[in-house]
Amino acid sequence: MNITEETNLMSKKESFTVLIIDNFHMDPEEDYLIEGFPTKDLAVEFARRWVRESLEENRKKAKTAEEIRKTWRAFGENAVVLDGNYRGSSELDYFILNPATKKEQTDWKAIKKLAGLE
């Protein structure tokens, strides 16, 4: 590796991307990326809050845990941190059994702002 390649490699800022998946349409054309999270932790927390907010919206339309799960799978949104080994749906059971009681549990906008993306 020469000096130019080394400099280019060092100057590349690592960032993380979150893929938002629309369960209703299940059409890759409807999915979109939110790029530029400076750390994996911020990307994961953003994705986590995004999915949790989506689930809480669907909780209003369902009563039982199974109804909430089915409603979210039909109408909710999933969030995946690309190259970050995190998928919001992996916490679906936890979110169903533990309703969000504080605004910050679903406030993905605060994380986006903290990440410098707003």
Domain that holds residue 34: 21-114
Contact of 97 with 65, CB cutoff 8 Å: yes
In a domain, 12, yes or no: no
Burial of residue 107, with CB atoms counted within 10 A of its CB: 0-12 exposed, 13-18 middle, 19 or more buried: middle
List pLDDT tens digits, range 27-59. Answer: 777 789 999 999 999 999 999 999 999 999 999
In a domain, 11, yes or no: no
In a domain, 66, yes or no: yes
Q: What is the pTM of this model?
A: 0.85
Q: What is the pLDDT of residue 21?
A: 95
In a domain, 28, yes or no: yes
- As given in the structure block, the two tokens for residue 41 are 């932790």
In a domain, 10, yes or no: no
How many structural domains comprise the chain?
1
List, edge to edge, every strand of the sheet that includes 32-37. Answer: 32-37, 16-22, 77-82, 86-87
In a domain, 1, yes or no: no
In angstroms, the CA 27 to CA 101 distance is 32
Q: What phi, psi does 33 have (nearest 5°)?
A: -110, 145
Residue 13 region by backbone torsions, left for phi larger than 0, else alpha for psi between -120 and 50, else beta: beta
Residue whose structure tokens are 């909780």: 59
In a domain, 43, yes or no: yes
In a domain, 104, yes or no: yes
